[in-house]
Amino acid sequence: MNIVVEGKAFIKNKIQQVCIGIENGRISKIAKILPKGEENYRFKKEIILPAGIDIHVHFREPGFTYKEDFSTGTISAAFGGISCIFDMPNTKPPTVTKKTTLDKIELAKKKAYIDFGLYTGITDENFEKIEDIAKYCNAFKIYLGSSTNTLLLDEKNLKEFFTIIEESSDKPIMIHAEDEKCLNEHKKIERNLTDHLRARPDLCEVKAIQNILKYRNKKNKIHICHVSSADSIELLKNKKDKTSIGVTPHHVIFSKNIKKKTLPDSFYKVNPPLRTEFDVETLREHLTDGFIDILESDHSPHTYEEKNVDLDEAPSGLPGVETMYPIFLFWSRKNLLPLHRIVSLLCKKPAEILNIKKGEIAEGKDADLIIVDMKNIQKIKTETLHYKCEWTPYEGMQAIFPRYTFVRGKPVIEDYTLVGKKGYGKQVKNNKDEQEL
């Protein structure tokens, strides 16, 4: 064995004392006892968990690197126990062609400390030309409603897109579900978070999901990003075949009436908006019962100066990749969400939906692990995080950060310190792909 990691590991939904043998970045053997490797790690008081996969980040490169880039973004992710991220296409230039997709892959290869995947955006201009792009991206992203640097696909082209992609690619499709016509009908001046909610009511999310369900094909997996309303959850019940649901930490932690606000309203402006306490409780309920598939950070950083303006002028989005897994590990410690659900939401299901060999401590999977001392509870502080934007909406909340983060058997974080190297991260390969991406 190249590497052997010994300790109490979360395997098949229970904690087991094992040795994990790692060769060439993959878990090759799991047993009670293994011969020593070239490198050996033994953990007595900590637990070993699968590293997280964040399927929804905006690392702002190219075009907006003063907010974040692949270096700072992947460092932040690693400190938060994330070994693989999937980056969204609304950059400058947008990732919507073969060239911009390949250019972005090269940027990420040079800077990433952890593994990554990329989405290519589908728009009214390129939806008929996706066959040329499909083999380079990991999945496709559709925006049905305007958001930050939006790449829109009109509802009238959605049905045709589903037909075209069914014939040309089996890659998953990730969708921002807000109906553009509905958003335009509800536009208003926004002075506070209640105004922002009224400008983007749950009706707009529901209408978009209705169109997705009406037009989707039977081949491609569909993932509806950042579902935020109880009405959307109700609509999706009994209609989930090949359709997965993601929610964000901010939509299950905050409502429009934030009780312990540490920043002005403009910092909590996001799309979809923060909704009512009833919506928050509904999402929490379905995190627990298994109806919701994925937790995704929707890490969307803007600088403090950009956000510290009147709400109507502020861009939408907030950072979250470094705090997502740690917050929910604390929830597990406080019996707010079972550990097996957290591992499913952040590790197993993301890997299944995006067809990658990660997300579980199992033979044949990438050796992406985190080592966690569940008694080491810390308060989240902006000054100890690693974002370029230098603020967090989760200031003062309790969390459990990993002591180690391993990516393909190599520590990127060791004893809460960055030891990984820029450029170590590589683009993940979909299980069905024959060629190296």
Sign of CA dihedral 226, 84, 71, 137: negative
Q: What CATH code is carried by the domain that includes residue 32?
A: 2.30.40.10
Distance CA 28, CA 21 (A): 6
Distance CA 294, CA 345 (A): 4
Kindly report whether the global pTM for this prediction surpasses the value 0.75: yes
- Residue 128 shares a structural domain with residue 242: yes
Distance CA 286, CA 245 (A): 10
- Residue 60 shares a structural domain with residue 98: yes
- Residue 17 shares a structural domain with residue 100: no
Number of domains in the chain: 2
Residues 380-408 pLDDT 10s: 999 999 999 999 999 999 999 999 999 99
- Residue 18 shares a structural domain with residue 70: no
**435 found inside a domain:** no
Q: What CATH code is carried by the domain that includes residue 148?
A: 3.20.20.140
Pairing of strands 14-23, 3-11: antiparallel
Residue 233 has pLDDT above 70, yes or no: yes
DSSP state of 315: P
- Residue 107 shares a structural domain with residue 10: no
- Residue 239 shares a structural domain with residue 293: yes
Distance CA 24, CA 27 (A): 8
Query: If you average pLDDT over residues 258-269, what whole number do you get?
Result: 94
Distance CA 427, CA 437 (A): 7
**289 found inside a domain:** yes
Of residues 336 and 437, which shows the higher confidence score? 336
Q: 245 with 267: CB under 8 angstroms? A: no
Residue 240 has pLDDT above 90, yes or no: no
Indicate the average pLDDT of the chain: 96
Query: If you average pLDDT over residues 421-433, what whole number do you get?
Result: 90
Structural domain span for residue 8: 3-48+368-378+400-418
Q: Residue 432: its pLDDT value, please?
A: 67
**393 found inside a domain:** no
Residue 437 has pLDDT above 50, yes or no: no
Q: How many CB atoms lie within 10 A of CB 309?
A: 12
Query: If you average pLDDT over residues 356-366, what whole number do you get?
Result: 98
- Residue 12 shares a structural domain with residue 93: no
- Residue 12 shares a structural domain with residue 76: no
Residue 44 CB burial class (10 angstroms; 0-12, 13-18, ≥19):
exposed
Q: Is 433 a catalytic residue?
A: no
Q: Residue 395: its pLDDT value, please?
A: 98
Residue 436 has pLDDT above 50, yes or no: no
- Residue 94 shares a structural domain with residue 239: yes
Q: Which residues contact 87 (CB under 8 A, 6 or more apart)?
A: 57, 58, 59, 70, 104, 108, 116, 117, 118, 119
**190 found inside a domain:** yes
Q: How many CB atoms lie within 10 A of CB 62?
A: 16
Residue appearing with tokens 């902006």:
382
**113 found inside a domain:** yes
3-state secondary structure of 264: coil
- Residue 12 shares a structural domain with residue 70: no
Residues 37-71 pLDDT 10s: 999 999 999 999 999 999 999 999 999 999 999 99
Q: Which two tokens stand for residue 311?
A: 């709400």
**187 found inside a domain:** yes
Q: 119 with 173: CB under 8 angstroms? A: no
Residue 433 has pLDDT above 80, yes or no: no
- Residue 95 shares a structural domain with residue 226: yes
Q: Residue 266: its pLDDT value, please?
A: 98
Q: Which of the residues 115, 298, 366, 368 is marked catalytic?
A: 298
**160 found inside a domain:** yes
Distance CA 72, CA 59 (A): 8
Q: Residue 163: which H helix or E strand, with range? A: helix 155-168
**28 found inside a domain:** yes
- Residue 250 shares a structural domain with residue 372: no
Residues 182-202 pLDDT 10s: 999 999 999 999 999 999 999
Which of 144-153, 161-170, 247-256 is the least confident region?
A: 144-153
